[in-house]
Amino acid sequence: MIVFNVKFLVVLLMIIETSRAATKTKCQVVQALRAQGVTSDSELRNWLCLVEKESSFRYDVTNSNSNGSKDYGIFQLNDGFWCGKSNGYSGTICWRLRTNGCQDSCSSFLNSDISNDANCAVRIKNCDGFSRWEGWKNKCKGKNLNKPKYDPSGC
């Protein structure tokens, strides 16, 4: 009985650690966004809400959409617009970004380095606002984001 309980506990701890391993903290997300020039507390609060609602701070998540497209990573960047295009764009001219997407493979949005994810997401937001993300439109827009879980000040 004791051997079974120990084995069960070890397996349970491994499952918990595996799920935590694919998750970023609030401060890690804030740091990645600040590295892309996002400094406003209000904007960071919106980003934190977006990340919570879109991916639950997981960077290895994909979601399939009803139109057949797929969203990738912590910012849920869509393969129909933003990744996996052979002529992806690394600049900030909006019409080029909208036409060619970011210069990233979709799979690069699934690894633990979220710097390129943040770079692409911030460029999208700077062109089109947060309205490109359904999770933000449905669960963050117009909501009170002055909650401790969205407060970036301690990061």
Q: Which of 54, 79, 104, 117 is catalytic?
A: 54
* Coil vs helix vs strand at 9: helix
Strand partners, 58: 23
Q: Which of 41, 43, 71, 79 is catalytic?
A: 71
**If 0-12 CB within 10 Å is exposed, 13-18 middle and 19+ buried, where does residue 2 land?**
exposed
113 is catalytic: no
* Coil vs helix vs strand at 78: strand
54 is catalytic: yes
Could you give the residue numbers annotated as active site? 54, 71
